[in-house]
Amino acid sequence: MPDLIAIGEPLAEMAATSSGPLGDVGVFRRGWGGDTANFVLAAARLGGDCGYVTRVGQDAFGTAFVAMLETSGVDASQVKSDAEHHTGLYFVTYSEARKHRFDYVRRGSAASHLASADIDPDYVAGARVLHASGISQAISRSCADAVLLAMEIAQEAGTIVSYDANVRPVLGDRDTLRHNFEAAVALADIVFLSEEDAAYLYGDTPLEAVLDRIVGDRPRLAVAKLGADGCLIESDTGERCRIPAWRVNAVDATGAGDAFSAGFVLSLLRDAELTEAGRYANAVGALTASGVGAIAPQPSHAEVMTLMRNAG
């Protein structure tokens, strides 16, 4: 049984090889993405014992994705093959300033048909950590139900529940996305979100106040991912630490936040203190942003340690 499992939506990634709008780009590089897929693959590359729960289509992308999981050392026993629905995909295009834009082909995907019946209680309860996200809740009602069921099983079993808000306004209105977020937070032990997530969900409420609200009155960690400004961590003990980012030549931030979350959770599983977990996660995110694509540039543990050692 894997130590760390994730549940959610994998996507085939089509990354433009030149800048310009989608209609003008002629050549794309195929990779992989999807926030929880990014997370579990980053954790595996860092040396974690990982598994993934999802559905993929019985198509070339679905077959290739499962093969890639297995090659990466991720347990794919809980990846269901769906003969009726396609594997989702997305296109990444870039402006001259390297700002990226995402266009998705995910409606009706196999992952959006993930349902409670796909959750193996023993598989979830046997893990040390379950990771889920707000995107998985937002792509369909059945997927949202499956995510919350898995989180409930994990909580009851004493499995650590990690949750990333990853708010996407295109997937729902503010009230729905906030309801999803708060329902998941009630079951989570570690909550990740960005400044943009906090601002969308709670308006002008200061980020620190949002973290206070998340932590509440039960044992919980709240982690704000601040990109080039590092991260801000708050615990239920009242400890709050702001950790600066590592300076690298950032090329593409796609998937960097998901890799950050994987690094943070895995570092905690290795008994790191909060500050050290934040430094490690910042390094994972920075190195991921140093290359193109969500998964291809994800670093190994050795590469992370080299950055931390050489950069001081």
Tell whether 26 is covered by a domain.
no
Model pLDDT for residues 64-103, shown as the tens digit of each residue: 999 999 999 999 999 999 999 999 999 988 887 667 788 8
**Residue 291: φ, ψ to 5°:** -130, 180
Q: Supply the pLDDT for residue 98.
A: 67
| CATH number for 130 | 3.40.1190.20
Tell whether 179 is covered by a domain.
yes
35 classed as catalytic: no
CA distance 19 to 25: 7
Please say whether the beta carbons of 13 and 294 come within 8 A. Answer: yes
Please say whether the beta carbons of 10 and 55 come within 8 A. Answer: no
Tell whether 107 is covered by a domain.
no
Tell whether 286 is covered by a domain.
yes
Q: Supply the pLDDT for residue 82.
A: 96
Residue from 212, 229, 258, 271 carrying the catalytic annotation:
258
Tell whether 75 is covered by a domain.
no
Q: Supply the pLDDT for residue 1.
A: 87
Give the contacts of 209 (CB within 8 A, at least 6 positions apart): none
Overall pTM > 0.75: yes
Q: Supply the pLDDT for residue 15.
A: 87
Question: Any idea what the Cα angle at residue 143 is, between residues 142 and 148, rounded to 5°?
Answer: 100
Please say whether the beta carbons of 55 and 78 come within 8 A. Answer: no
Q: Supply the pLDDT for residue 102.
A: 87
Domain that holds residue 132: 37-53+116-310
Tell whether 17 is covered by a domain.
no
Please say whether the beta carbons of 133 and 107 come within 8 A. Answer: no
Q: Supply the pLDDT for residue 275.
A: 95
Please report, in tens digits, the pLDDT of each residue of the chain (312 residues total). 899 999 999 999 998 888 888 988 989 889 999 999 999 999 999 999 999 999 999 999 999 999 999 999 999 999 999 999 999 999 988 887 667 788 899 999 999 999 999 999 999 999 999 999 999 999 999 999 999 999 999 999 999 999 999 999 999 999 999 999 999 999 999 999 999 999 999 999 999 999 999 998 777 899 999 999 999 999 988 889 999 999 888 887 889 999 999 999 999 999 999 999 999 999 999 999 998 888 889 999 999 999 999 876
Q: Supply the pLDDT for residue 267.
A: 97
Tell whether 59 is covered by a domain.
no
User: For the chain, how many structural domains are there in total?
Assistant: 1
Q: What is the largest CA-CA distance in the chain?
A: 53
Tell whether 48 is covered by a domain.
yes
Model pLDDT for residues 178-200, shown as the tens digit of each residue: 999 999 999 999 999 999 999 99
